[in-house]
Amino acid sequence: MNDVVRLTYPEPGIAVVAMEERTYRNTFSKALIEGLMRAFDQIDRNPTVKVVVLHGYDNYFCCGGTKEELINIYEGKIKFTDLAFYRLLLDCEVPTISAMQGHALGGGLAFGCYADMMVMAEESLYSANFMKYGFTPGMGSTYIIPRKFGALLGNELLFSANNYHGGVLRERGIPAQVVTKREVITTALALARDLADKSLVSLKLLKAHLTQSIKAELPAIIEQELAMHEVSFAQPEVRNRIETLFGG
């Protein structure tokens, strides 16, 4: 991989992808994106892998776009679809588990939600914080977050852009497992062991079946989100909010 993404195979049938972009706190740096794409390419070519566990480091699972990326979108230089990695968990042929041991913010939360299963931490923060910056959500989050959290809570996450502790989300009835931070990865690995015992052919068939509606409906959502970005990113206040919230 590279220095910020580690791919290991701790047990038969299980691949673990660790995101450790310490310089940019697991935001979508070039190194993190390239490392993730290489890791999943290796996984796709490994016929022994039956399940993938994805986690971050310390207090960070994945924290969305960098300041440079958001400014480049504001200036019309890139679109979030240029960062095509956000579908890696969805497009992986075998089941995936997001072990969100740390904070998951904005695009980082959306990215994690494309996994087939999620384990979250009581103490960590989860936020669809796009609107805090003044622009509408992207990366398919207007679709995948309500799908995973439920329509009402998903809408609240998207509109409010507030931070929610995992313990609060558990009280709100989210279907994901919520455990203490120190238990997240071990819980995800225990779940992965259950899957690693199953037939690879059947796992792939079931993954394809369970994700077919997402794959069919997502492209139209992405186009609609891009259209909203053309309007919402054109507001002068967006650049000011990005500069302020990133501290400069």
According to DSSP, the residues that pair with 120 across neighbouring strands are 100, 178
DSSP class of residue 172 equals T
d(CA 202, CA 41): 21
Residues catalogued as catalytic? 229
Give whole-number Cα distances, 122 to 59, 106, 146, 207, 232, in Å.
12, 18, 20, 28, 33
Sign of the dihedral through C-alpha 94, 140, 163, 152: negative
User: Exposed, middle or buried by CB within 10 Å (0-12, 13-18, 19+), for 147?
Assistant: middle
Residue whose C-alpha is closest to residue 80's, from 247, 193, 237, 224: 224
Rounded Cα gap, residues 67 and 242, in angstroms:
7
Q: What per-residue string of b and e applies to 188-214 under the rule 16 or more CB within 10 Å gives b?
A: bbebbeebbeeebeebeeebeeebeeb
Number of alpha carbons in the 13 Å side-chain half-sphere of residue 183: 12
Contact 50, 203 (CB under 8 A): yes
